Amino acid sequence: MEDVILAPIITERSMLLVKTGKYTFKVTKTSDKVKIKKAIKDKFGVDVVKVSTITVKAKKKRVQKNEFTESSYKKAIVKVKDGQKIDLFEIGGSK
């Protein structure tokens, strides 16, 4: 089986979504919602309620005279069942 989940997306907005039980991941372009749901359940052991996918378009970047294009990617926002969480997104520690 191929790896569907490439990396977690840790941004200010995605960390705000964690409070509502939504987690953001970078996924392969060929993956669909059913594959993403199964991969999250297998990898993290949580029940997935909803999966939303977004294709992020490529952006042009410029460094001095050189111009290049960042590649596009697909991201998934996954809502888990109430009371469950993915420890990968937990920040800070308890003293």
Share of the chain above pLDDT 70, in %: 94
Contact 76, 36 (CB under 8 A): yes
Domains and CATH numbers, the chain: 5-83 (3.30.70.330)
pLDDT tens digit string along 44-63? Answer: 999 999 999 999 999 999 99
pTM for this entry: 0.84
Contacts of 8 (CB under 8 A, 6+ apart): 23, 24, 25, 26, 88, 89
